[in-house]
Amino acid sequence: MKKLVLNLEPLTCPSCIKKIEGALKRLDGISEAKVLFNSGKVRAEFDENKVSVEEIANTVSGLGYPIVSQKVS
Amino acid sequence: MNAKRTSQITAITGLLLAVAIGFHLYGFHEGRQTMLIAATILAGIPIASKAFKALKMKAFSIELLVTIAVVGALFIGEYVESAAVTFLFLFGAYLEARTLEKTRSSLRKLIDMAPLEATVIRDGETQTISVDDVIEGDRVVIRSGEKVAIDGRIVTGKASLNEAAITGESVPASKMIDDRVFSGTIVDHGFIEVIAERVGDDTTFARIIELVEDAQESQSKTEKFLDRFANIYTPSIVVLSVLVYIFTRNIEMTLTFLVIACPGALVISAPVSIVAGIGNGARNGVLIKGGDIMEKLAKIDTVVFDKTGTLTRGKPEVTDIHSIEIERTDLLRLVAEAETISEHHLGQTIVKEAKKQGLQLLSEPQNVEVIKGNGIQATIDGKVLTVGNRKLMDAKDILIDSEMEAYATAREKEGNTAIFASINGKISGILSIADQIRPEAKKALRELRASGVRQIIMLTGDNRHTAELVGAQLGLDQVYAELLPEEKVAMIKQLKAAGHRVAMAGDGINDAPAIATADIGLAMGEGGTDISMETADIVLMADRLDQFSHAYSLAKATVRNMKQNTFFAVGTVALLLTGVLLGKVFLASGMLIHELSVLLVILNAIRLIRYTKRKSFNQRKIKFDLQAQ
């Protein structure tokens, strides 16, 4: 299992949280997805054999939330 | 679609709605309907676009629900509802974004204080470079009005510095050669040259920002509860709307359910309070490491203080040297030589005094034994020096005669710490060290009590007499003296076992174990030291006790604010559900209540940004005084 942190622009809508979390949780290989509203961070735990960082990042940016930076650990 | 375009669309939609109202008043029905449809389509485009994006990503979104509801409303000819819903949705989102920006303004202002450039002298040449290119050991020049970009010591010049970014203290501090300066502070007037000791992410300011950013991520219990609630709420409402349609065939009620399915106020009610509270703290030099810490601090009923460096200034001075069969200066030199390797503040005070008197400390201490909490033993020039308290003398079988004991007790009763010095197993003198009580201590403790703290206790390694004197002067409930670090930990555990919620305030270095044991640990003294930043839940950057009382009342205000928001958000949900089921709330009114509830929780949180303990304390005091009359 790997951990990914995506830094987004500050979130300004309450509905963004559930939308992003919901989209990520639907991806195969994501065991946990959490949007931190105050800091504009997305934390995801994923299986790199099932889903790539690129796929996760594309899902978030595809929803209309540009990614400022990302970190995998 | 960018934010600017969306706000333009919102404005045009508002205008179309105003025209529709005008047509309605003049009885021009066709014109009214046309305007309403135009407003719906115009405002519906960005909503539908977001819904489509989410759908592509297989995500469930409020925009999709609103789009379905609006299409449905258009289909059944409810143009007023469709136009009002789309306009309110966009306008609400615009206001939410603006107000949320406000709640985060404290933190943004703090981050904006970060310096970007520095002027350095390299190879005799002065050059302005990016702050990222400054390296340790660089000689950095800071002139009047400029920001300090590194942590370091002044080597040339003197200046008055505004350290608000670090300490929250707006009164400028005078700095001269050898004084430390911090990144993020501003030279009010003067000129200094500083050798860079910490650069980039290692500076105190960078670590403060990192701490504050991390603090926003730790979730409080309230946030976790609301998260779980929101996770159940939305799917339940969607299922309910399907059931409503199956049983009632009421399309309007079904669509209204879809509109209220987003728990907007619920999901942000706690985070907005927390971010505003943390921002207020950071601006006032109080670093609170998250929402859970806020909640714990608000419940504290017992505060335990260390004495030296916490209730006292932490700048002890040698007030007297009493020696037997040895010159005072010789005794001071020997003791100072033994203490050169000591990290204890009393040892360092003795070394400082010796240097102040111009004594040469040339002899290296040999066979050093540091007895934690009691003192030190070392060999200097072949003499075995034992320096410390009565416990150490007792442990080393060194006899304190009645005359010396009486002298030490008299000094202690005057507020001094008596340090016994023995040479080769025989008492050779007593060094008296005194530390002043912090000027703001009494008022800060009074404010803590006024805010709800039930008992204030002092634990100290210092002697009983000095401890009792400080306790009496500050009106403490209990004083425990001559304690070792592990005994302080045991005391904290005892208090917790008795059902108290305990906060421990110390200097973050000697008291690290007790700070870690308490429900809430506060570090002060050297605000910004690595160890205090790591160990404590709360760091008081300005080294002032009134920051503690501010932190406590701020935590209470934040938790109160969070509860208000939570009750309001849950109440709104209940009201909407009841209203829809009773047929009293429709599409547009449902959207209006939904948007208003989100705005109200944000506006309520904004009140915390300007929260000052003084205001609330004075209000309570006035109330108390009135009751007393």
Give the HSE-up count for residue B85: Cα atoms under 13 Å, Cβ half-sphere.
36
- Residue in chain A closest to B214 (alpha carbons) equals A39
Contact A19 B60 (CB under 8 A): yes
Contact A12 B96 (CB under 8 A): yes
According to DSSP, residue B309 is labeled I
B306 among known catalytic residues:
yes
Which B positions 26-65 lie with beta carbon below 8 A of chain A?
A: 50, 53-54, 56-63
- Please check the confidence at residue B56 and state whether its pLDDT lies above 50: yes
**Candidates A15, A20, A64; nearest CB to B262:** A15
Candidates 3.40.50.460, 3.60.20.40, 3.30.70.660, 3.30.70.100; correct CATH number of A2-72?
3.30.70.100
Q: Which residues of A touch B277 (CB under 8 A)?
A: none
Query: CB neighbours (10 Å) of residue B501?
Result: 18
Q: Which residues of B touch A14 (CB under 8 A)?
A: 96, 262-268, 598
Domain-wise residue ranges, chain B: 1-103, 114-210, 317-434
Question: B551 or B172: whose pLDDT is higher?
Answer: B551
Contact B262 A59 (CB under 8 A): no
Give DSSP secondary structure letters for B170-231.
-S-EEE-TT-EE-TT-EEEEEEEEEEEEE-GGGSHHHHHHHHHHHHTTSPPHHHHHHHHHHH
**Over residues B420-443, mean pLDDT:** 93
Contact A41 B234 (CB under 8 A): no
Question: B509 or A56: whose pLDDT is higher?
Answer: A56
Entry pTM: 0.77
Task: Identify the band that residue A61 occupies on the pLDDT scale cut at 50, 70 and 90.
Answer: very high
Q: Which residues of A touch B267 (CB under 8 A)?
A: 14, 17-18, 37
Q: Which residues of A touch B96 (CB under 8 A)?
A: 12-14
In one-letter notation, the amino acid at residue B538 is I
Candidates 2.40.30.10, 2.70.150.10, 2.160.20.10, 3.20.20.70; correct CATH number of B114-210?
2.70.150.10
Contact A22 B59 (CB under 8 A): yes
Tell how strand B180-181 and strand B538-540 pair up. Answer: unpaired
Highest mean pLDDT among B132-146, B277-291, B614-628: B132-146
Q: Which stretch of B423-437, B533-547, B595-609 has the lowest confidence by average pLDDT?
A: B533-547
**Candidates B59, B63, B267; nearest CB to A23:** B59
CATH fold, domain B317-434, is Calcium-transporting ATPase, cytoplasmic domain N (3.40.1110)
Q: How confident is the model over B262-298, as pLDDT tens digits?
A: 777 888 888 889 989 998 998 888 889 888 999 999 9
Q: What is the pLDDT of residue B616?
A: 47
* Six-digit token string for A38: 């105050």
Report the distance separating Cα B156 and Cα B141, nearest Å.
9
The whole-angstrom distance between B163's CA and the closest CA on chain A is: 25
**Over residues B165-183, mean pLDDT:** 85
Looking up tokens 């409303």 gives: B73
Cβ B126 vs Cβ B138: under 8 Å: no
The whole-angstrom distance between A14's CA and the closest CA on chain B is: 5
> CA dist B354 to B337, B374, B432, Å?
9, 21, 14
- Residue in chain A closest to B290 (alpha carbons) equals A38
- Residue in chain B closest to A66 (alpha carbons) equals B2
- Please check the confidence at residue B232 and state whether its pLDDT lies above 90: no
- Please check the confidence at residue B36 and state whether its pLDDT lies above 90: yes
The whole-angstrom distance between B452's CA and the closest CA on chain A is: 29
Which of B140, B173, B135 shows the shortest CA–CA distance to B154? B140
Report the distance separating Cα B20 and Cα B249, nearest Å.
30
Q: Which residues of B touch A39 (CB under 8 A)?
A: 213, 216-217
**Candidates A17, A18, A38; nearest CB to B274:** A38
Q: What is the pLDDT of residue B526?
A: 56
Query: Over chain B, what is the mean pLDDT?
Result: 87
Contact A15 B101 (CB under 8 A): no
**Over residues B449-477, mean pLDDT:** 91
Q: Which stretch of B180-194, B271-285, B534-548 has the lowest confidence by average pLDDT?
A: B534-548
Q: Which residues of B touch A62 (CB under 8 A)?
A: 53, 56-57
Which B positions 304-343 lie with beta carbon below 8 A of chain A?
A: none
- Residue in chain B closest to A56 (alpha carbons) equals B57
Task: Identify the band that residue B421 occupies on the pLDDT scale cut at 50, 70 and 90.
Answer: very high
The whole-angstrom distance between A56's CA and the closest CA on chain B is: 11
- Please check the confidence at residue B532 and state whether its pLDDT lies above 70: no
Looking up tokens 């201590």 gives: B441
**Interface probe with B: pick from A8, A18, A43, most Cβ of B within 10 Å:** A18
Q: Which stretch of A52-66, B128-142, B213-227, B545-559 has the lowest confidence by average pLDDT?
A: B213-227
Q: What is the pLDDT of residue A47?
A: 95
B290 lies within 8 A of chain A by CB: no
**Candidates A13, A59, A62; nearest CB to B96:** A13
Task: Identify the band that residue B529 occupies on the pLDDT scale cut at 50, 70 and 90.
Answer: low
- Please check the confidence at residue B360 and state whether its pLDDT lies above 70: yes
Task: Identify the band that residue B10 occupies on the pLDDT scale cut at 50, 70 and 90.
Answer: very high
Q: Do domains B114-210 and B317-434 have the same CATH topology?
A: no
Task: Identify the band that residue B601 occupies on the pLDDT scale cut at 50, 70 and 90.
Answer: very high
Task: Identify the band that residue B238 occupies on the pLDDT scale cut at 50, 70 and 90.
Answer: confident
Report the distance separating Cα B325 and Cα B540, nearest Å.
46
**Candidates A19, A22, A39; nearest CB to B213:** A39
Residue B295 phi, psi dihedral angles, 5° rounding? -65, -40
B624 lies within 8 A of chain A by CB: no
The whole-angstrom distance between B59's CA and the closest CA on chain A is: 4
Q: How confident is the model over A13-60, as pLDDT tens digits?
A: 777 888 898 899 989 999 999 888 877 889 999 999 999 999 999 999
A69 lies within 8 A of chain B by CB: no
Which of B46, B47, B39, B4 shows the shortest CA–CA distance to B18? B39
Q: What is the pLDDT of residue B623?
A: 44
In one-letter notation, the amino acid at residue B580 is V
Q: What is the pLDDT of residue B619?
A: 45
Contact B97 A12 (CB under 8 A): yes
Name the active-site residue from B138, B151, B306, B546: B306
According to DSSP, residue B308 is labeled I
Which of B421, B417, B460 shows the shortest CA–CA distance to B436? B417
- Please check the confidence at residue B155 and state whether its pLDDT lies above 60: yes
In one-letter notation, the amino acid at residue B39 is A
